[in-house]
Structure 1
Amino acid sequence: MFRFLNLDLLPPWTDECATIAFSLGNSFQIVPVNEIISTEVLLAPLTPNSTATVSDVVHHLFTESTHPPVYFILAHWWMKMFSPAAGLDLIWIARSLSAFFGVAAIPAMFIFAKLTVNSTLIAQISAAVMALSPFAIYLAREARHYTLVILLVIASLTCFIKAIQLLDKRATLPFWICLTWISINCVGIATHFFFSLTLLAELFVFLGRGWSQFHKDKNLLLQSPWRRIYLVAAGTLIGCLVWLPILRSIYQSPLTQWVSDGEPRINWLEPILRMLLWWWSMLILLPTAFNNISLWVVVISGMVTILFLGWVLPKLISGLKFFAQDGENRLITQALIGYIGGAIALFFLFTYGLAMDLTLAPRFQFVYFPAVVILLAISLASCWQQLQQKSIIQAIFFIAVISGLTVVNNLGYLQQHRPDLLAPIIQQNSENSVLIATTHKHHGQTGRMMGLAWEFTYEISPKNQSKHLVSPQFFLAHRSPETRSYATSVKILSNQLTEVPFSLDLWLVDFRAEIDLEPRQCTPDSKTHFRTGEYKYKLYHCPSIN
């Protein structure tokens, strides 16, 4: 229910615009830069294209984006099947595919736990945690590929745990499982390149097991059980190497440079604090969206969260320790903890070692999220069954329901880009024609403006028919790839402003360049110089030219 409730309430944010446009087989290059354009022109890539094919989807992805094609191809077929008309239906259909995969992750977690831990209770709790986790609900409600890749992580982890169990018994992994595992891993890489972190984390655990067995018997690593692991590793590596040319180009792509914009080595505490927030959201997310709720509500929610975690974490740790008393259970626990620890270590290695801050976005934590879910289920099952602490499960699921409602009503901190918060501000503070200008490097900035254009077209316009209605135009000031400067585009904007004879309200949104507005006699509005919904904005009033 949480995954589909109010699914089309928010306008698409920039990454969703990219998913929808590319899945429709459209290109962002049809949107002009360095000229004033209408909302219709700006939203053209989000228009259903009946002539587009899978080849168009793949072509535009490989020439304009940094993502592998599997999810986009599936989304293309999905939207073709439902033949969405223009308007809100398109957003619902685009998001519903992700929500569908999010729902599928619930029984997938049950199967994962049942096959590996062989406990119906743990399997049921795993499914319940996946169903109610605010992090899982958040990912499922966006038109993105993260719920599909979570399914693939679950499948890969199932094979991984079975392999660990068989290695411990010195038994050979069946050949059909090897082929299945290789296929899952190859599809995972073709769905999201960060699936490679899943593979590396699994590798770390195997290296640890191999080192342990090597000290017991040096010949073990050459025997049949380990040879099957080598087969899986070789097949997976071949599936990964296919993408190596694209991965090399991604490293230098402007689309991925945002993870390198900060200075995590100097501001070293910020990534750690962000990771804590993302971890908490896997279990609890109370109203904390300070952009649209009172500060005192955020403070109270934060205090309740800290108190709740302080109460529940020791009990969860006790439950995990109780479960790990048995030999095989200890093996499973060690493998899952090793996997999670390896994945988190990779995140911090990229963040602090390579200055690529992978903690900036909560969605990247999909890599180890299913392993966290099953560990939570193991702990809760122990509390319920052995430790007789049933109140903890009741409390967690009560909080989980509140957290789900928080996500559905967009009151949490996970939803970062909110065009729906800025558009009403522009509507309320504009009395003249509106021009929204932004600096532009790639389709990421185009998508940010698309979110605003969508909100004005499909939300604000129908609700304000009897009032003064803002119908904004847009200007994308493109950065020169040769000079890496906005000077030329800013000059074009200044010249075009002088050619507009009527009164104009100019909104500079995420405008990262200096501009001289004196020739147009534009004056800043002292009341509007703020930031909301991850948008920075500044309003200028430009009088009519006699």
Structure 2
Amino acid sequence: MHRYRPYLSLAGILILGTVLRFAQLEAKPIWLDEILTGLFSFGRNHDNIPLDAVFPLAQFVDIFQLNSSASCGQIAETVARESTHPPLFFCLTHEWLKGNEGAWIWQARSLSALFGVGAIAAMYGLNRIAFSRQAGLMGAAAIAVSPFAVYLSQEARHYTLPMLLVILSLSGLIQIQKDLLHRGKVRPWVGITWVIFNTLGLYSHYFFLLAWVAELFTIFALSLGQYLHPERLGLQQESSSAPPKRMVTWLSLGGYSWLPLLLYFPWLPTLHNHFSRPETDWFKPFEPSWVDSVTPIFQTLAGWLVMIVAFPVENQPLWIVILSVILMLLCWGYFLLSIVPRLKAVLTSQSTRLSGLTLLVFTVVILLEYLILVYGLGKDITSAVRYHFIYYPVICALLGASLTMNPVVIKEKNNSAPVKGLIGKLREKGKLYLIPSFLIVGLISSVFVVSNWVFQKSYDPAGVARQLNLEPTVPLVVVVGYENMQEVALGLSFALELDKIRTRNLPETGWAFMTRSPSYQSVWENLNSVSGLPPSAVNLWIVAPGLRQREYPPQLMLGDRLCNLDPSQYYRLGIPYQLYRCGEE
């Protein structure tokens, strides 16, 4: 029974992680990015959405029907033209939707949740290879109850797939490092699987490029350090080989390292085009100021915080926000103080030094790449906490390894045996409480995520829908100004939520997407041609991305109706929306 205990523990961790990821999976409102996932994965595109005219709200809801005849090539072409992402996740989701009937939101999110469960199992494998079986269990437990991982797993987006592939790729990287140290060569099956994981990762998310570059730099840096200062690193190679054989080893490693880029070459022109697309302008601040130079640092620290603990701070009373922030900082500070000496033990122990240094160097390189993107290219990718997913698995791996280690004991000459014994007992007791408290805090935080108390959806589609439905008994027309597919998707997220509360027995509801190119003047002119309105008074909401409050006209014509701006009904949740009251015929 004893030999099966680790596998039973892993099974329990997987069950817990699965429950957390699938609980309340459909309850949260769907938002902009998930709308895009649905459209592309259903085999739909820009042409399937009625534009520049008022249509019944239900017609927009019916867009999300599977086009089973769409191929992966067609989906990739649509993604290349109308989005800024590689195609693999959307093709996989399309196949997943074809094989599953039911509510499409649950189905789309369930695939991400499955990849999230797979990441738990893969984390066990990574730490089992890198450190020990116990570290594997702790790494799996860390990611299973991490609020950040649960949040990503409940998004119908391509975060858990590349996260899983990062873990698998890092497992290959660790095995390559061990092969070079102990065998003096890379086994072909290790190199080939590493190539496969990296290639799939590159086609799943553009940020995987950062991971791939970081892995190459890690191999180079540690190999150079091992060659120049083997004693300092403590990584003396156990198996020496002749120069010709060593040359073959490094040539094969070079091939394994660069082959993913060669396989990715057909998509490189699309990557270049996507990088300069206006859809990525949201990475830039709306109104730049000096604060933008320090904000990324605090946003990164906040990202590290919520990887471990996340209590309600969004849309909560002030006293709850203050209490949550204090508790989160106390928990984080306690874990940080407890983990740092254990992490030092991971990096100094002979049995774990190579793997620990590999993961640490990888993380440092990723963070340096983030700094280059933020301060060198002006793309603040730290503004969305989810974008820390690419190096998040390494945090879990090092946490798992650290939780299994005792702090390094620095012996002092004057330490008496009783003092040493007391210190040892205190450390053992700290270790005894550290692991349960870490898991309990993570579990509580994950329950908050599942309950939609933290990591609430961007632009708050449900909240916007409630405000649009201000007067349920009055006929309603909602007009969304759009310039690109992202703004159409944003409007569709509002439409889906409004349809849930705007039942069929209420007065009719019209919805329109109207182009705002070259300016909003084209929207105002299109409103003049609207017809078929009910004879009673109508509420008109204008959702206007990029428009300032003072730029809304005081009056508009909706067909032959004069509409007056209601100054008390202006809101801005990421984007502005304003109510106009239109009189009767």
- TM-score (norm: length of structure 1): 0.90
1:98 maps to a residue whose letter is S
In 1, the alpha carbon distance for the partners of 2:118 and 2:34 equals 21
Matched-pair contact (CA < 8 Å) for 1:34–1:478: yes
1:13 maps to a residue whose letter is W
**Which residue among 512, 523, 528 is the counterpart of 2:569?**
528
> Which residue does the alignment assign to 1:228?
252
CA displacement 1:83-107 (0-9 Å, x = unmatched): 34xxxx1111111111111111111
**Which residue among 458, 462, 465 is the counterpart of 1:420?**
462
In 2, the alpha carbon distance for the partners of 1:148 and 1:155 equals 11
1:147 Cα offset (Å):
0.9
Greater mean deviation of Cα atoms: 439-448 or 163-172: 163-172
> Which residue does the alignment assign to 2:58?
40
> Which residue does the alignment assign to 2:329?
306
1:542 maps to a residue whose letter is C
**Which residue among 3, 17, 38 is the counterpart of 2:35?**
17
1:472 aligns with 2:509: yes
**Change beyond 3 A, Cα 1:145–1:242:** same
**Change beyond 3 A, Cα 1:519–1:333:** closer
1:437 Cα offset (Å):
2.1
**Which residue among 99, 109, 112 is the counterpart of 1:98?**
112
CA displacement 1:102-140 (0-9 Å, x = unmatched): 1111111111111121x1211111111111111110011
> Which residue does the alignment assign to 2:497?
455
Aligned length: 529
> Which residue does the alignment assign to 2:14?
none
**Which residue among 204, 207, 215 is the counterpart of 1:191?**
204
Let me know the Cα RMSD of the aligned residues: 2.7
* Higher radius of gyration, 1 or 2: 2
> Which residue does the alignment assign to 1:65?
83
> Which residue does the alignment assign to 1:251?
275
* Secondary structure in structure 2 of the residue aligned to 1:382: coil
* Secondary structure in structure 2 of the residue aligned to 1:3: helix
1:344 Cα offset (Å):
1.2
In 2, the alpha carbon distance for the partners of 1:403 and 1:510 equals 35
> Which residue does the alignment assign to 1:8?
26
1:62 Cα offset (Å):
2.5
In 2, the alpha carbon distance for the partners of 1:471 and 1:248 equals 45
In 2, the alpha carbon distance for the partners of 1:473 and 1:361 equals 33
In 2, the alpha carbon distance for the partners of 1:98 and 1:138 equals 10
> Which residue does the alignment assign to 2:124?
110
CA displacement 1:461-515 (0-9 Å, x = unmatched): 46xx7xx8365322223133xxx43332332225538987642212222443444
In 1, the alpha carbon distance for the partners of 2:524 and 2:216 equals 50
In 2, the alpha carbon distance for the partners of 1:379 and 1:137 equals 22
**Which residue among 138, 145, 164 is the counterpart of 1:125?**
138
> Which residue does the alignment assign to 1:29?
47
2:353 maps to a residue whose letter is R
1:324 aligns with 2:332: no
* Secondary structure in structure 2 of the residue aligned to 1:496: coil
Matched-pair contact (CA < 8 Å) for 2:343–2:398: yes
In 1, the alpha carbon distance for the partners of 2:556 and 2:576 equals 24
1:413 Cα offset (Å):
3.6
In 1, the alpha carbon distance for the partners of 2:273 and 2:324 equals 43
1:443 aligns with 2:443: no
1:172 aligns with 2:209: no
> Which residue does the alignment assign to 1:376?
399
In 1, the alpha carbon distance for the partners of 2:72 and 2:247 equals 45
In 1, the alpha carbon distance for the partners of 2:245 and 2:345 equals 32
- Indicate the percent of aligned positions where both proteins have the same amino acid: 29
**Change beyond 3 A, Cα 1:383–1:289:** farther
**Which residue among 528, 543, 546 is the counterpart of 2:583?**
543
**Change beyond 3 A, Cα 1:383–1:297:** farther
> Which residue does the alignment assign to 1:239?
263
Matched-pair contact (CA < 8 Å) for 1:315–1:383: no
CA displacement 1:60-79 (0-9 Å, x = unmatched): 22322222222111111111
Q: What stretches of structure 1 of length at least 5 have no aligned partner?
A: none
**Which residue among 152, 159, 164 is the counterpart of 2:172?**
159
In 1, the alpha carbon distance for the partners of 2:279 and 2:196 equals 29
In 1, the alpha carbon distance for the partners of 2:275 and 2:59 equals 31
* Secondary structure in structure 2 of the residue aligned to 1:267: helix
> Which residue does the alignment assign to 1:280?
305
> Which residue does the alignment assign to 1:399?
441
2:302 maps to a residue whose letter is L
1:539 Cα offset (Å):
1.8
Greater mean deviation of Cα atoms: 268-277 or 517-526: 517-526
* Secondary structure in structure 2 of the residue aligned to 1:359: helix
Matched-pair contact (CA < 8 Å) for 1:436–1:508: yes
In 2, the alpha carbon distance for the partners of 1:41 and 1:63 equals 24
1:538 Cα offset (Å):
2.1
1:347 aligns with 2:370: yes
Matched-pair contact (CA < 8 Å) for 1:265–1:355: no
1:141 Cα offset (Å):
0.5
* Secondary structure in structure 2 of the residue aligned to 1:477: strand
- 1:467-506 counterparts in 2 under 5 A? 469=506, 471-480=508-517, 484-496=518-530, 502-506=536-540
> Which residue does the alignment assign to 1:409?
451
1:90 maps to a residue whose letter is W
* Secondary structure in structure 2 of the residue aligned to 1:112: helix
* Secondary structure in structure 2 of the residue aligned to 1:347: helix
Greater mean deviation of Cα atoms: 52-61 or 64-73: 52-61
In 2, the alpha carbon distance for the partners of 1:456 and 1:478 equals 21
1:43 Cα offset (Å):
3.1
**Change beyond 3 A, Cα 1:186–1:493:** same
CA displacement 1:207-247 (0-9 Å, x = unmatched): 32243245369x79963443332111221221232221111
**Change beyond 3 A, Cα 1:46–1:168:** same
**Change beyond 3 A, Cα 1:299–1:498:** farther
**Change beyond 3 A, Cα 1:220–1:207:** farther
Matched-pair contact (CA < 8 Å) for 1:21–1:46: yes
CA displacement 1:286-344 (0-9 Å, x = unmatched): 11222xx2222111101111111122201110111123231241222221111111111
**Change beyond 3 A, Cα 1:152–1:393:** same
In 1, the alpha carbon distance for the partners of 2:128 and 2:255 equals 26
2:486 maps to a residue whose letter is G
- TM-score (norm: length of structure 2): 0.84
* Secondary structure in structure 2 of the residue aligned to 1:531: strand
Matched-pair contact (CA < 8 Å) for 1:264–1:352: no
* Secondary structure in structure 2 of the residue aligned to 1:428: coil
Matched-pair contact (CA < 8 Å) for 2:218–2:358: yes
